[in-house]
Amino acid sequence: MLKSATVGYDKFLRRLDKAGFFIIAISIILLLGVGTLSDALPEDQLALPVTLIDNFLAVIAFVLLAIGVHAMLYVYLLSKKCPRCSEKVRRGSYACYNCGHTLSQ
């Protein structure tokens, strides 16, 4: 029972690590595209809704960036690498679920 719970937690850390990278990438894409909406319209058609949409997208991008960085910090603070296979495992685990190497405490 303990081994299956550890394996599940280690897989969760790997998925959270990948999700953190994905969320940071989405936020960077949003930040790069924030100004394009107002740049695409002529100067006489710029209005308050376009500015509000730009500001809303910027806020969403910064929130996603914060969530992604938080996920990455969570993974790196609560995991360590197996010396044999370099897979991320929980700090309190006794053995690597990938290669079976017994970890020192």
Tokens encoding 102: 């017994």
Q: How far apart are CA 98 and CA 87, in angstroms?
A: 7
Q: Could you identify the residue written with the tokens 């809704």?
A: 49
pLDDT, one tens digit per residue, over 21-77 is 888 889 888 888 876 766 666 666 666 666 777 888 889 989 988 988 888 887 777
Q: How far apart are CA 37 and CA 48, in angstroms?
A: 12
What letter does residue 93 receive in the DSSP assignment?
A: -
